[in-house]
């Protein structure tokens, strides 16, 4: 009688030895393979590395702690990810036009990227006109937000605002909702850039208020939203900036979890119950082209967060343990050379995110390494998601790679590496202090340089950059759009007219209340920001007031 099939599939010691010998004889000198997190990778994984019998408790089923296989019982089979393309350019009217196109093409939620001048805390009349609207929409007042979101039902459409401290965009949106008679309790979405620590670490465009003030405003923001806008996610903990700045995948997750722990502890220290605010914590990650590693990254992150939330932060409600995340395909991986190749990179990145169990996805346009995406580039990015969701059968099965010897071992290794780095941050006094002292910035800078050296030395292939180069016709490159200068000038003129015509007494009164709130820890700064937005105050006025009261956030020069 034949042996049962199962024993033929499992490698007996003899079979394993036989494979090892044949492998060694065939391969000659084996390469030393390490992944992007620096972990050594074996040529083959078997039940010696991971077995379901031993590790079942580390997996759980989908929707069951520790959520390695997904945070919901149905995952993408029930509801696929939210298709959320980041958009923002030009004036609010131009943004609205693009928004309507993206919604018509299949996007299911709104996002708004403001102009870099907004990120930096300035109004449009304080900025170089050359830079207005080139990277995002110029939204400085509640009127601007109302125009940008014309035709969008705020009670039914999830809106993500790229809105760093002090969250004026959400304030403008709440003011808009009040005008339209929309109940704040129906408004859903996310403050995408609420993680001031990640801004301080990875700089990016944000940086407005000194660390202690930014820390307080975030806690005020969380408390306010919990009470008045309960469907809103006030906290998006951001690993994306760090990985874009050079952190490897394990570091990016470790620093992000450390930030989440810090923010949660700050809220707990104010007397808040973790089960009141943790269900509204979300995470935001970069997805690199390192396919398997990214999948393992997300699986490990879910597992660690479930335990941190329960054991370390004391949350009792399972909703607090669920690691919800938005993924964005990595722009750093995209190349200027042979830009159409980026469509392949974005596809691989997006697949890693989907197989990693994400809740919401932005796919980059192939021409992002050239400039702000063209309309064609943006359309293909949306189509890529549609293809992956509806043609490729990726969503038929939940966690389809679960149980793979390699993926599970990689997930375990990733977990160990993340926990090692979290410990380094803990030993430094927590994320706030580790950022204040520059420790995190130095670690990220070192990883960025290591990776650059691997590319310069051609240890890491980048197609079109250090291998497979071709002569390229620069005229074949897409022409990237720049905002219409005349439309921007008209927008600027009407902004100046608005400021001259509004009730100055009401605006000044609201700014005075903001000053008092900044000096009174029992008051809620974000609540006063919302009142200021409703009183006609501008973004710049609100930011300048808080900067004056709470100090300017200077950045350390760490090379």
Question: Which listed residue (135, 148, 218, 254) binds other proteins by CB under 8 A?
Answer: 135
- Residue number, 416 or 558, with CB nearest to other proteins: 558
Question: Which listed residue (128, 269, 470, 522) binds other proteins by CB under 8 A?
Answer: 128
**Distance (Å, whole) CA 371 – CA 334:** 12
Considering only residues 355 to 414 of the shown chain, the ones binding other proteins according to CB under 8 A are: 369-372
Quickly list DSSP for 356-415: TT-SEEEPPPTTTTTSSPPHHHHHHHHHHHHHHHHTS-TTSSSSTTTT-HHHHHHHHHHH
Question: Which positions from 31 to 70 touch other proteins by CB under 8 A, shown as an x/- string?
Answer: ----------------------------------------
Q: Tell me the window of 31-39, 286-294, 449-457, 525-533 that interacts with other proteins (CB under 8 A).
A: 449-457
> Cβ 107 to other proteins, closest distance in Å?
23
Q: Nearest 5°: phi and psi at 237?
A: -85, 130
**Distance (Å, whole) CA 451 – CA 159:** 35
Locus of tokens 């291998």: 467
> Cβ 247 to other proteins, closest distance in Å?
10
- In 79-234, the DSSP E strands lie at 82-83, 110-112, 159-161, 189-191, 232-233
- Residue number, 103 or 131, with CB nearest to other proteins: 131
The answer to whether the beta carbons of residues 335 and 465 sit under 8 Å apart is yes
**Distance (Å, whole) CA 58 – CA 47:** 15
> Cβ 485 to other proteins, closest distance in Å?
11
71: Cα separation from own chain's centroid:
18
List, edge to edge, every strand of the sheet that includes 235-238: 82-83, 360-362, 325-329, 281-287, 235-238
Q: Tell me the window of 18-26, 329-337, 402-410, 498-506 that interacts with other proteins (CB under 8 A).
A: 329-337
- Residue number, 29 or 475, with CB nearest to other proteins: 475
- Residue number, 420 or 485, with CB nearest to other proteins: 485
Q: Tell me the window of 10-18, 40-48, 143-151, 473-481 that interacts with other proteins (CB under 8 A).
A: 473-481
> Cβ 243 to other proteins, closest distance in Å?
10
Report the half-sphere exposure of 225 (CA within 13 A, side-chain side).
28
- 477 contacts other proteins (rule: CB under 8 A): yes
- 231 contacts other proteins (rule: CB under 8 A): no
- Residue number, 121 or 274, with CB nearest to other proteins: 121
Considering only residues 77 to 96 of the shown chain, the ones binding other proteins according to CB under 8 A are: none
Cis peptide upstream of residue 139 (ω within 30 degrees of 0): no
Question: Which listed residue (35, 85, 111, 116) binds other proteins by CB under 8 A?
Answer: 116
Report the half-sphere exposure of 285 (CA within 13 A, side-chain side).
35
**Distance (Å, whole) CA 350 – CA 362:** 8
> Cβ 546 to other proteins, closest distance in Å?
18
Token digits of residue 415:
């977990």
- 332 contacts other proteins (rule: CB under 8 A): yes
- Residue number, 500 or 557, with CB nearest to other proteins: 557
- 131 contacts other proteins (rule: CB under 8 A): yes
**Distance (Å, whole) CA 385 – CA 502:** 44
- 288 contacts other proteins (rule: CB under 8 A): no
Q: Tell me the window of 11-19, 220-228, 240-248, 321-329 that interacts with other proteins (CB under 8 A).
A: 240-248
Considering only residues 193 to 222 of the shown chain, the ones binding other proteins according to CB under 8 A are: 203-207
Question: Which positions from 450 to 469 touch other proteins by CB under 8 A, shown as an x/- string?
Answer: --x---x-----x-xxx---
The answer to whether the beta carbons of residues 388 and 394 sit under 8 Å apart is yes
- Residue number, 122 or 184, with CB nearest to other proteins: 122
Beta bridge partners of 137: 90, 114
**Distance (Å, whole) CA 230 – CA 183:** 11
Q: Tell me the window of 389-397, 477-485, 496-504, 523-531 that interacts with other proteins (CB under 8 A).
A: 477-485
Token digits of residue 392:
């490729």
- 126 contacts other proteins (rule: CB under 8 A): no
**Distance (Å, whole) CA 524 – CA 402:** 45
Locus of tokens 């004889």: 25
> Cβ 336 to other proteins, closest distance in Å?
5
Quickly list DSSP for 29-40: SPP--B-TTS-B
Question: Which listed residue (159, 245, 278, 488) binds other proteins by CB under 8 A?
Answer: 245
**Distance (Å, whole) CA 388 – CA 150:** 31
Question: Which listed residue (79, 156, 185, 554) binds other proteins by CB under 8 A?
Answer: 554
- Residue number, 167 or 200, with CB nearest to other proteins: 200
Picking from 211, 292, 198, 189, the residue whose alpha carbon sits closest to that of residue 253 is: 198
The answer to whether the beta carbons of residues 132 and 152 sit under 8 Å apart is no
- 16 contacts other proteins (rule: CB under 8 A): no
How do 325-329 and 281-287 pair as beta strands? parallel
> Cβ 86 to other proteins, closest distance in Å?
13
Question: Which positions from 334 to 353 touch other proteins by CB under 8 A, shown as an x/- string?
Answer: -xxx----------------
Which residues in this chain contact other proteins in the complex, by CB under 8 A?
Answer: 115-117, 119-120, 122, 127-128, 130-131, 134-135, 203-207, 244-246, 332, 335-337, 369-372, 445, 448-449, 452, 456, 462, 464-466, 474-475, 477, 479-480, 554-559
């Amino acid at each position: 009688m034949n042996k049962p099939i199962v024993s033929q599939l499992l490698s007996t010691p003899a079979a394993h030895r036989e494979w090892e010998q044949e492998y060694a004889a065939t391969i000659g000198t084996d390469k030393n393979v390490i992944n992007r997190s620096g972990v050594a990778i074996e040529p083959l994984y078997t039940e010696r590395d991971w077995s379901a019998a031993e590790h079942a408790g580390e997996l759980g089923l989908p929707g069951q702690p520790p959520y390695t296989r997904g945070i919901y019982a149905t995952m993408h089979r029930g509801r696929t990810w939210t298709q959320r393309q980041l958009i923002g350019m030009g004036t609010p009217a131009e943004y609205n036009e693009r928004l309507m196109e993206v919604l018509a093409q299949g996007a299911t939620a709104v996002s708004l990227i403001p102009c870099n001048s907004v990120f930096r805390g300035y109004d449009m009349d304080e900025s170089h006109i050359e830079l207005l609207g080139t990277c995002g929409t110029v939204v400085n007042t509640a009127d601007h937000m109302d125009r940008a979101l014309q035709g969008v039902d705020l009670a039914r459409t999830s809106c993500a605002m790229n809105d760093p401290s002090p969250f004026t965009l959400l304030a403008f949106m709440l003011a808009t909702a009040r005008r339209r008679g929309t109940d704040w309790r129906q408004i859903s979405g996310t403050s995408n850039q609420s993680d001031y620590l990640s801004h301080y670490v990875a700089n990016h465009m944000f940086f407005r208020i000194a660390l202690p003030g930014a820390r307080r405003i975030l806690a005020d923001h969380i408390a306010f939203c919990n009470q008045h806008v309960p469907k809103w996610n006030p906290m998006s903990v951001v690993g994306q900036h760090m990985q874009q700045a050079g952190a490897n995948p394990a570091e990016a997750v470790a620093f992000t979890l450390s930030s989440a722990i810090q923010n949660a502890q700050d809220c707990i220290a104010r007397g808040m119950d973790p089960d009141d605010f943790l269900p509204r914590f979300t995470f935001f990650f970069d997805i690199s082209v390192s396919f398997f590693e990214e999948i393992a990254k997300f699986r490990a992150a879910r597992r660690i967060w479930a335990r941190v939330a329960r054991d370390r932060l004391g949350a009792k409600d399972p909703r607090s343990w669920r690691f919800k995340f938005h993924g964005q395909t990595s722009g750093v991986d995209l190349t200027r050379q042979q830009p159409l190749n980026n469509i392949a990179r974005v596809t691989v990145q997006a697949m890693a995110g989907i197989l990693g169990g994400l809740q919401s996805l932005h796919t980059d346009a192939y021409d992002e390494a050239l400039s702000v995406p063209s309309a064609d580039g943006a359309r293909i990015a949306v189509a890529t998601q549609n293809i992956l969701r509806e043609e490729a059968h990726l969503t038929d099965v939940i966690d389809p790679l679960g149980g793979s010897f390699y993926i599970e071992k990689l997930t375990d290794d990733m977990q160990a590496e993340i926990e090692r780095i979290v410990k380094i941050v803990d030993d430094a006094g927590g994320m706030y202090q580790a950022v204040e002292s520059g420790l995190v910035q130095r670690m990220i800078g070192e990883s960025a340089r290591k990776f650059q050296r691997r590319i310069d030395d051609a240890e890491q292939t980048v197609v079109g950059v250090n291998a497979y180069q071709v002569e390229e016709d620069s005229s074949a490159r897409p022409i990237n759009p720049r905002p219409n200068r005349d439309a921007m000038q008209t927008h600027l003129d009407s902004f100046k007219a608005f400021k001259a015509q509004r009730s100055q007494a009401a605006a000044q009164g609201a700014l005075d209340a903001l000053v008092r709130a900044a000096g009174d820890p029992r008051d809620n700064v974000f609540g006063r920001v919302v009142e200021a937005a409703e009183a006609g105050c501008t973004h710049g006025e609100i930011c300048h007031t808080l900067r004056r009261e709470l100090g300017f956030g200077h950045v350390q020069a760490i090379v």
